[in-house]
Amino acid sequence: MLCFLLNRCQRKIYSPKRLRDASVVIVFHNEAWSTLLRTVHSVIKTTSKNILKEIILVDDASTRIFLKSDLDNYMKKLTLTFEIPIIILRSKQRIGLIKARLIGAKSARGKVLTFLDAHCEATTGWLEPLLDRIAENHTQVVCPVIDIIHDETFAYAKSFELHWGGMNWNLHFRWYPIGQEDFKKYQSLNEIGSFRTPIMAGGLFAIDKEYFYNIGAYDYDMDIWGGENIELSLRVWGCGGSIEIVPCSHVAHVFRKSSPYSFPRKEGVMGTLYTNLARVIEVWMNQDYKNFFYKINPVAKKVVYKDEPISTNLSSKLVNISSRIEIKERLQCNDFSWFLKNVWKENFFPTRDRFFGKIQNIKLGECFQKPNTIGGPSSVGVGRIELEKCLIETYAAQCFIYTQSGLIMTDESLCLDVLDPMVGSSILLLACSQIKRQKWRYNPISNVVIHIQTNLCIDLSSTIERRVVLNKCNNNLSQRWQMIPINWYEY
Ligand code: UD2
Ligand code: MN
């Protein structure tokens, strides 16, 4: 009877012999006392001792006094009380989270490395399912579902389980609804219903320690913050591993509106981030995608090439990436095109067999534009497609993809869509969901865009200026659209 009341996560029994022990590594710079302790206490409270080897705290040159001897003393007491080793390592210089994690990893004695940010709350049973998936296959990198600790009330809130991680055209991490194929598999795939994710959020994950070093740990030349999760994700997938989200494992995290710490580089947060991202581009993108990303992200291009043209001559670059290229060659890793085709089929990146460019109304001469109120950092909202003056240079908000399966999409996994499709309905950009309602057929001779489900055409509204709507097809000039391709693969 009880069995019926328990969900599949609660029903699952883990054999302790199968699970290898984990070192939990938490790096911090000037973290608040309360959030740091919430993290440590929650780990102690929710993790059974036989799978927790130790907790390693790495202080990345914090300047807050209470993070020094007060923290030492507090953790000594905790170690004695709970008989779980809590080790504090300190860096004299500010080295950033990537190098700090490497310090923690190096001294870890557990077989599995489990990284957490310093403002988390682990929940009961969070670690077993992660270790179980690694026991199944040591090349699986696993993430818990990341719940939300409210950044003002610090209340715990559950987040969506059926989201996976991706990235946008700026190589920024984003949550998107899980791909359809994987969604179907999710319920039945394995006992604890884990599912794949193309990219991981980066802060909370577990990885077999030996595997972590085999595939090249982290890129040591990445500074302070950002991009390392994209790099690790492309590397794991590309070099034969996989990344999963395990819905039986929940850990909450404080998503802060802005960084509470300073960025020591003179270029600030963006300069730091794009220097790291340029390394991702240089190592993992084939020439086509290098050109695409530099076109969309001129800041990243400047970091590597200043005002010079993009060349294939490595020595002309500001950053040395040869050791990372060596790893890629040693492991014979696949690159980004392979990743898009095999790991992230639902992606919204240009490919050679898709149209990529502007969509211009022939009567008005203006182009489709993504409204800038949607697709922000955390939300993929609803918005009407806009018409604006067509820009000559590559402007991401005016770039659209038309796929062979009939989707018209743009950055942030947004698809041309229409709610209640009928004459007069507004054309919107909504989260791509692979439903029939989002399918369109473009006729390059008559220049009409037909909504497949209703056989109606995309038209300009006759009453509201610059409003794009569905209408009966009538061959009027206002229903004619030019798809103007952009050479995304050339710089
Ligand atoms: C996300 C990740 C984070 C990391 C980052 C990209 C989650 C929940 N968080 O941003 O782990 O992958 O993306 O790099 O997925 N820290 C240092 N030294 C520094 C800067 C930060 O030790 O110079 C620590 C910081 O105290 C924290 C951790 O690194 O414990 C992550 O930093 P964050 O919380 O500012 O990153 P977040 O959550 O915005
Ligand atoms: Mn964080």
How confident is the model at residue 330, as a pLDDT? 97
Q: Among candidates 283, 177, 291, which has minimal Cα distance to 239?
A: 283
Q: What is the pLDDT of residue 190?
A: 62
- pLDDT above 80 (res 332): yes
Q: What is the whole-number distance in angstroms between the Cα of residue 202 and the centre of ligand 1?
A: 8
Both tokens of residue 442? 């473009």
- Phi and psi, residue 243, nearest 5°: -125, 135
pLDDT > 90? residue 439: yes
Q: Are 410 and 429 in contact (CB under 8 A)?
A: yes
What pLDDT was estimated at residue 309? 82
pLDDT single digits (tens) 221-268 = 999 999 999 999 999 999 999 999 999 999 999 998 888 888 887 778
**In degrees to the nearest 10, what's the CA dihedral of 395, 397, 399, 402?**
180
Most informative mutation of 34, 97, 265 for ligand 1 (most atoms within 8 A of CB):
97
154 alpha carbon to ligand 1 midpoint, in Å? 18
The residue ranking higher by pLDDT, 162 or 108, is 108
Across 1-10, 25-34, 202-211, 389-398, least confident range: 1-10
Go through 314-353 and write b for each residue having 16 or more CB atoms within 10 A of its CB, e for each that does not.
eeebebebeebeebbeebebbbbeebbeebbebbbbbbee
- Closest-CA residue, ligand 1 atom 15, reads 203
pLDDT at 489: 95
- The predicted structure's pLDDT at residue 304: 81
Residue 177 or residue 199, greater confidence: 199
Judged by its nearest atom, the ligand closest to the C-alpha of residue 257 is: 1
Instruction: Provide the pLDDT for residue 162.
Output: 85
Alpha-carbon distance of 256 to 461, in angstroms, equals: 42
Note the pLDDT tens digit of each residue in 260-295: 888 887 778 888 899 999 999 999 999 999 999 999
| Per-residue model confidence (pLDDT) at position 250 | 97
Interval between CA 29 and ligand 1 midpoint (Å): 9
396-425, pLDDT tens digit by residue?
A: 999 999 999 999 999 999 999 999 999 999
* Nearest alpha carbon, ligand 1 atom 11: 203
Q: What's the pLDDT band for 303 if we cut at 50, 70, 90?
A: confident
Decide if pLDDT at 310 tops 90.
no
Identify the band that residue 3 occupies on the pLDDT scale cut at 50, 70 and 90: low
Is 131 in contact with 258 (CB distance < 8 Å)? no
Pairing status of strand 112-116 against strand 22-28: parallel
Q: What is residue 4's predicted lDDT score, i.e. its pLDDT? A: 63
Give the strand pairing for 52-60 and 86-91.
parallel
Please count the CA atoms within 13 angstroms of the CA of 99 that sit on its side-chain side.
16
**Proximal ligand: closest to the CA of 226:** 1
CA distance 51 to 246: 18
How is residue 191 annotated by DSSP? T
Q: Quick one: which H or E segment has residue 366? A: strand 366-369
In this structure, the strands spanning 481-485 and 408-410 are unpaired
| pLDDT value of residue 349 | 98
Percentages (nearest 5) of helix, strand, coil residues in the chain: 30, 25, 45
Query: What pLDDT was estimated at residue 6?
Result: 77
Q: What is the pLDDT of residues 49-74, one digit of tens each?
A: 999 999 999 999 999 999 999 999 99
Cβ of 115 closer than 6 Å to ligand 1, yes or no, is no
Q: Report the separation in Å between the CA atom of 457 and the middle of ligand 2, taken as the mean of its atom positions.
A: 46
- 432 phi/psi in degrees, rounded to 5: -60, 130
Q: How far apart are CA 420 and CA 187, in angstroms?
A: 30
Res. 26 pLDDT band, cuts 50 70 90: very high
On whether the pTM is more than 0.85, the answer is: yes
Predicted pLDDT at 181: 77
Q: How far apart are CA 141 and CA 138, in angstroms?
A: 8
In Å, what is the CA distance from 76 to each residue of 81, 121, 431? 9, 21, 49
Residue 26 token pair: 């938490």
Contact between residue 55 and residue 78 where contact means Cβ atoms under 8 Å apart: no
Supply the pLDDT for residue 317. Answer: 54
- Measure CA 278 to chain center: 16
458 CB within 6 A, ligand 1: no
Give percent above pLDDT 90 in the chain: 80
Average pLDDT over residues 152-179: 93
Q: Which ligand 1 atom minimizes the distance to the CA of 263? A: 23
The angle subtended at Cα 207 by Cα 203 and Cα 213, nearest 5°, is 105
256 φ/ψ angles, rounded to the nearest 5 degrees: -95, 150
pLDDT value at residue 2: 54
pLDDT of residue 378: 41
